Structure 1
Amino acid sequence: MKNDGTYNIGGVANFGGTNTFSNNAIGFGAINNSPAPTASTPEDQAAATGTASGSRWDIGIITILSEEARAVHDVFDLEWVPGKVGGLFFATGKIEAGNRPLSVVATRTSAQGQRSAMAACENLRRHFDPAVLMMVGVGGGIGRGEEAPGIGDVVVGTRVVFYDLRKETAAGTIHRGEERESPAEMVHSVNAYFTVNGEPAPFQGQADDFRERAFHAFPSPIGSGYAVVADEESEIREYLTGFNDKILAVDMEAGGLSQFWQENSVDPARNPGWVVVRGISDRADRHKGHTHHDLAARNAAYVARELLPYLR
């Protein structure tokens, strides 16, 4: 081996500076078996999925249950991103909406509840920076009377009432509800959908055995908290009805979505709009169960896709 200070054959040379070496093999016959890097930035994923590099993704969808994730993947015709992004799995695709395609990315939370929902929102923001967040899945119906949504109907919300803030006293529970509304642009977009399609808006069932049956989508605030409501005489139902008698559905995650938006409102340029789409799988009563999860999830995913031309 010859090394006269100007070139190096078969070794490592450092000429007057600081060098950093990573994922390297040194010496004759050395082999580097380091795994290929996985895409972990919006730019990397743009190259992998065909989205314009440097642009924000249009729509980010959050689901919680497996039935919800499958429904979104099927209805939006999404495909899993090869490998992981930041250690997580995402599904992506492009949807024709109006005069141009929209880029869509979906993720599933690790668990039910507000905290996991906020984490999913942050994961989407960090890796894809979507302009609009949609929470799509199932919920319980709490409306009363003939105009209340039934099993398989869908509720679309741009307002969330978080019901779990409360004070426990000797005289009883004092509820301290917290209400947040999506940005005005999103409210107008959802209003436009119902102006064009009717209020409630009719659509055909999307699950097997229900495709010939008509269902309806309703605009409504969403009640959200940590408790599973499975009693028609529940104090939570009574409180929500007194807070706003227009609340037609409850869930366990929309409060986390609205809180994420509130926390990120310090950066209005990047803060996404949001909307909640919940298919009614039960009436939040003693008959609550999983029987109608697939029906409710697929109807919700269908309505969410129908909203896209208005949200863009």
Structure 2
Amino acid sequence: MARDLVVILTALNLEYEAVHRRLDGPRVHRHERGTRFEVGTVRGTSCRIALALTNKGNHAAAVMAERAVQEFSPVALVFAGVAGSLWDTARLGDVVMATHVYAYHGGTSEDDGLKARPRVWEAPHRISQIGSYLARANDWADSAPARERPPQVRFGAIAAGEIVQNSKISAEARWIRQHYNDALAIEMEAAGVAQAGHLSGAPVAVVRGISDRADGTKSSAKDRNTQPRAAANAAAFAVRLAVELVAEEEQIAMSEAGGNAPRADKTEGQVSNTAHNSTVGIMAGSVHDSTVRLGAAPVGSDHLALLAELDRIRADVRQHHVQGVLDDDTYREARAELAIADRATRENGPEASRTTTMALKRLRGLVADVPELVTRLAALVLAAGALS
């Protein structure tokens, strides 16, 4: 599994662009069958996003979701875009995160009417927990105009079918509201993505911005205002969710590597380890007697040791570029992150330490295909976090 990458899929170009605007350095990644993804990094984080367009419909979304999972083995699969609201619970511009998804077109036609036989997929507990946390933290949305109410996050069922719903009085509209009266929103792709996630074992999150009421009032004139806002809000929450998922994966990786992640406390110029007088492995490095070691060289609060390791990393990045392992764009971005880390390390202080740590995390995402560098950078991130 790529522990720093989340796939985000959208059905419309408008939705795609809303996510794309939040990525730094997006580069085209071509699937062998011609599908184009763009892979970029969320600004200020080590989280990478692989972005792709599915086009409309559950079937197309399912195929693209399965392809994305096989290609990237992501931390999670997120479907982000717009939807219609079935009730007044969610206002235009609000975001609905699915607690479960209905494929509402399942049924049986009998003499006394159409009986519902839906497929249902529940959201993974971990993703639901993170979504609820982000809703409470309420720091995900872009700044709203002064007179505009900030968007809210709603949690509930999302109904997915194969047709555009824009009526409250049609036979099908009445049937949907009768049999799926707990659904907050209705759209056309979530069931396909949920099924693909179920079959591949990939966690799935569905995030929808409310762009219309699905009640006959949907019009092109209104969509020009409501759709972009709803798409932007869905993209903002989806990207924030992806960042949190990757951050949690990093914590899990540290715990798996060393039992307990070392505290960023200084003890005699080194990084303090909660498991004193023991060795905690950090992949190629280790923490022993409160000292983080990279190879044979201890790196604690010693800025010179950290700078020396940055030089070694820089040389190895250059060598991998010469060998063709890293392409020109990746090499250029990697050098830029190394320069930021080097400069911040020389400046010293808590803020400089945070800058160094973030630069190293972004670098780790850039060289994710070079396990040796990822291993060394994981230990270096811990060491940089202890500098002040």
Aligned length: 240
User: 1:156·1:277 contact (CA, 8 Å) conserved in 2?
Assistant: yes
SS in 1 for 2:36: coil
Question: For residue 217 of structure 1, what is the amino acid of its counterpart?
Answer: V
The equivalent position to 2:210 in structure 1, one of 280, 285, 303, is 280
2:240 maps to what in 1? 306
Question: For residue 79 of structure 2, what is the amino acid of its counterpart?
Answer: M
The equivalent position to 1:72 in structure 2, one of 19, 23, 26, is 19
2:91 maps to what in 1? 150
Structure 2 residue 164 is matched with structure 1 residue 223: no
2-side partners of 1:203 and 1:55: how far apart?
27
2:124 maps to what in 1? 183
Structure 2 residue 49 is matched with structure 1 residue 104: yes
CA shift for structure 1 position 241: 4.3
* Structure with greater helix percent: 2
CA shift for structure 1 position 171: 2.0
TM-score by length of 2: 0.57
Question: For residue 101 of structure 1, what is the amino acid of its counterpart?
Answer: S
2:77 maps to what in 1? 133
CA shift for structure 1 position 192: 1.9
Question: For residue 118 of structure 1, what is the amino acid of its counterpart?
Answer: A
SS in 2 for 1:220: strand
CA shift for structure 1 position 124: 0.8
Question: For residue 228 of structure 2, what is the amino acid of its counterpart?
Answer: D
SS in 1 for 2:229: helix
1-side partners of 2:49 and 2:116: how far apart?
38
1:8 maps to what in 2? none
2-side partners of 1:70 and 1:78: how far apart?
14
2:31 maps to what in 1? 85
CA shift for structure 1 position 191: 2.2
Question: For residue 154 of structure 2, what is the amino acid of its counterpart?
Answer: F
CA shift for structure 1 position 223: 0.9
SS in 1 for 2:215: coil
Query: Cα–Cα, structure 1 residues 85 and 156, in superposed 2: closer, same or farther, change >3 Å?
Result: same
2-side partners of 1:77 and 1:149: how far apart?
32
Structure 2 residue 100 is matched with structure 1 residue 166: no
Query: Cα–Cα, structure 1 residues 239 and 223, in superposed 2: closer, same or farther, change >3 Å?
Result: same
For residues 161-195 of structure 1, what are the alpha-carbon distances to aligned partners after superposition, in whole Å with 9 as ceiling and x for unaligned? 11100111232211112221122221222222223
2-side partners of 1:282 and 1:205: how far apart?
22
SS in 1 for 2:169: coil
Question: For residue 7 of structure 2, what is the amino acid of its counterpart?
Answer: G
User: 2:77·2:202 contact (CA, 8 Å) conserved in 1?
Assistant: yes
Q: Which deviates more from structure 2 when the two are superposed, residues 216-225 or residues 285-294?
A: 285-294
2-side partners of 1:114 and 1:159: how far apart?
15
User: 2:2·2:72 contact (CA, 8 Å) conserved in 1?
Assistant: no
2-side partners of 1:69 and 1:105: how far apart?
11
SS in 2 for 1:152: coil
* 1:246-261 paired onto structure 2 within 5 Å: 246-261=182-197
* 1:16-55 paired onto structure 2 within 5 Å: 55=2
User: 1:240·1:247 contact (CA, 8 Å) conserved in 2?
Assistant: no
The equivalent position to 1:233 in structure 2, one of 169, 172, 184, is 169
CA shift for structure 1 position 212: 5.7
1-side partners of 2:231 and 2:108: how far apart?
34
SS in 2 for 1:221: strand
Structure 2 residue 48 is matched with structure 1 residue 95: no
Q: Percent identity?
A: 27
2-side partners of 1:120 and 1:182: how far apart?
19
User: 2:75·2:245 contact (CA, 8 Å) conserved in 1?
Assistant: no
Q: Return 5+ residue gaps in structure 1 as ranges.
A: 1-53, 265-270
TM-score by length of 1: 0.69
User: 2:78·2:205 contact (CA, 8 Å) conserved in 1?
Assistant: yes
1-side partners of 2:17 and 2:43: how far apart?
20
| Deviating 4+ runs (over 3 angstroms) | 54-57, 201-206, 234-246
- Which is bigger in relative contact order (C-alpha 8 A, separation at least 6)? 1
2-side partners of 1:235 and 1:76: how far apart?
43
2-side partners of 1:125 and 1:225: how far apart?
23
1-side partners of 2:53 and 2:46: how far apart?
23
User: 1:190·1:310 contact (CA, 8 Å) conserved in 2?
Assistant: no
User: 2:26·2:41 contact (CA, 8 Å) conserved in 1?
Assistant: no
Root-mean-square deviation (CA, aligned residues, Å) is 2.5
